Chain A
Amino acid sequence: MTLVQEPKLYGLVAEFSDPDVLLTAAKQTHNAGYRKLDAFSPFPVHGLSDAIAFEDYKVPWTVFFMGLLGVTCGFAMQIYVSYIDYPLNVGGRPMLSWPQFIPVAFECTILFAAYSAVFGMLAYNGFPRPYQSIFNTPRFDLASQDRFFLAVESEDPKFDIEHTEAFLRSVGANTVSIVQK
């Protein structure tokens, strides 16, 4: 019963100084059969998620359905208020004058969709998450400045410290570090 745990391995993290080298390296690493990959860059590098075959459409679908929910709630609220609960004759218009409910229903659509875009993105990304193993990488504070990183996680079936390290160096890494969890 000791409180000090054995450090567990997160994986190998390679540092690059150029986004194009990272892009090529990520492709080569994926082609070499590595699957538990992650890449880190100070700005979105287009093609990088394709390079490690990462695809995810949860955010757009969430936004779409929340938008539908928003427009439904918007109309439902106004119909309930102005037609069911307190029917109000305004200027002799029909009681169910739905065209006049469009502006508020539209704003509700946008509001629901925008909230779900932001909070959906944060939730699927697992934020807020102040501690992440990748922060143990030496010089990782440069990942938000001007350096680019590629991580091969230890859970990858092909992961082998020596081979993987040699491989990462062969695809152009400046340095390769062993990172603990």
Chain B
Amino acid sequence: MASSNALNDELITGEQSYKTINDRINNIVLNPGKHGVSWWMVFLIGFGLLQVLGMALFWLLWRGVGVWGINKPVMWGWDIINFVWWIGIGHAGTLISAILLLLRQAWRTSINRFAEAMTIFAVSCAGIFPALHTGRPWVDYWLFPYPNVVGMWPQFRSPLLWDVFAVSTYATVSILFWAVGLLPDIASLRDKSRNKVVRSVYGILSLGWTGSVKHWHRYEQAYILLAGLSTPLVLSVHTIVSFDFAVSIVPGWHTTIFPPYFVAGAVYAGFAMVLTLAIPVRAWYGLKDYITMRHIDWMAKVMLATGLIVFYGYILEMFYGMYSGNVFELGLVKNRLYGPYAWSYFMLLFCNGVVPQLLWFPKIRRNLVALWLICQVVSIGMWLERFVIISVSLLRDFLPSSWGFFTPTMWDIGLFLGTMGQFMFLMFGFLRVLPMINVFEMKELWYKMTGHHHTGTSADHGAHSDKPASDEATGHGGPPLLGQPAADKGE
């Protein structure tokens, strides 16, 4: 089975033990000296853009949504595009943490904490847009069903309301999942820290975690249940987001391909963002032994696969329009191909259809600079996809007399850049205060990789092992660990 391919790194490389895994990840948090110029650079750029968010918010709240480029008929502009873009990015985190857990993909361990954090911060950016696009965000609580004096209720037959429930549930469950995963790691930071204040803070946050087997027992039950609950949840969220469009009768929106196509697009954009962050961070913090080339390679492959599904969606959309025989659907096809925003459609095909094909080549998947640049192209492509679907479809719908045009204003751009700032600020703030790799799961993975091999007093060994600790080194019980780690790691 052992392959000599350079991409077949093990999931954890280098000279390792429980202690080195523990110390190297926890020290990033406990030792401020680990954060160099690059951390400050990104953090300060994020902080700067966060101020742009403040200004864009202030002006919007002062003047109203008219400061944006939206108009009649293009009532959904950058606000909804950015909402869908951000929430899509969040989906990769849940995919990695929940779906790959249920599928017993051991490689998720190195990236799940990081990706879950990305999910929460991306959803927090996404949430800003629908909250503001209502025009009067101070009465957004009207979206929730609560008994009130005027006897009004929300309209439960509308996908827009389903979205309120879907996104708020998604944000809540993502935070719960992340917090539960953090609990043992916070306890580990509490025990490792020698600073009294730091120790107390992590001590309070750890809730008194001891690592008792009775606690682990219930912990693992809860964790796997959360994964099982998050899996249909994440699929439902982007499905419901796509219902916002598909349930309407606007040409270009009213198609049944939308739910699967949106979910695939979300995972595609999300993996691009995970790689965008993971490639520099693993280099800056010396985590190449934990986020190995194999992880990078597999993430790139997931991107390629979901990218192909998305591209298939584009082909089908074209096909539907032409095959429908419907004059308005045909009009939309023409609008995309020859309309005023035709350049955005061709850019989209280039970004999401052509460029990701480079990922077929192992050489390119192994080239971190090329891969990072492809991820940027994918992020742009996914943004353009939402632009083409949302705004370009609205430019010209049924009556030529009500056709219009859309141009973003500086406040559209400012708000978008602002949410990017918020994302960077939160993400890099997180790297500073919490372990960016799940420490206890890495130790568990190491335990499985070393296949019951131990260096303790050898007299007791053998009483338990139901499998020989041979170089086949399958995990126990589960399917063989991908990556076929060697049994006898130096310890």
Contact = CB atoms under 8 A, between A and B. Distances in A.
Interface of A: 16-21, 23-28, 38-49, 52, 54-60, 63, 77-78, 81-82, 85-86, 88, 90-91, 93, 97, 100-101, 103-104, 106-108, 110-111, 113-115, 117-118, 120-122, 124-125, 127-132, 134-135, 140-146, 171-172
B460 A171 contact: yes
Interface stretch (B133-141, B419-427, B461-469): B461-469
B165 A60 contact: no
Given A19-B447, A42-B184, A57-B221, 14 more contacts: A20-B465, A38-B213, A46-B476, A47-B476, A54-B213, A63-B225, A82-B156, A86-B153, A115-B172, A118-B180, A127-B207, A127-B209, A128-B208, A134-B212
A97 B212 CA distance: 49
A158 B170 CA distance: 50
B191 interface: yes
B450 to A, nearest CB: 10
A160 B330 CA distance: 86
A64 B454 CA distance: 39
A40 B19 contact: no
Contacts of B410: none
A114 B151 CA distance: 31
B110 to A, nearest CB: 15
A90 B157 contact: yes
A5 B19 CA distance: 38
B83 to A, nearest CB: 17
A81 B156 contact: yes
B165 A42 contact: no
A96 to B, nearest CB: 11
A87 to B, nearest CB: 11
Residue among A91, A117, A142, A172 with the most chain B CB within 10 A?
A117
B192 interface: yes
Contact of A146 (B19, B219, B464): B19
Contact of B218 (A56, A88, A97): A56
B176 A114 contact: yes
A54 B153 contact: no
Residue among B154, B158, B460, B477 with the most chain A CB within 10 A?
B460
A18 B456 contact: yes
B164 to A, nearest CB: 9
Contacts of B177: 114
A97 B208 CA distance: 48
A110 B169 contact: yes
Contacts of A41: 211, 213, 216
Nearest to B240: A103
Return the 9 tightest CB-CB contacts between A and B, nearest first: A18-B456, A121-B222, A146-B18, A141-B191, A128-B207, A18-B454, A129-B208, A43-B444, A103-B162
Contact of B236 (A103, A122, A129): A103
Contacts of A57: 221
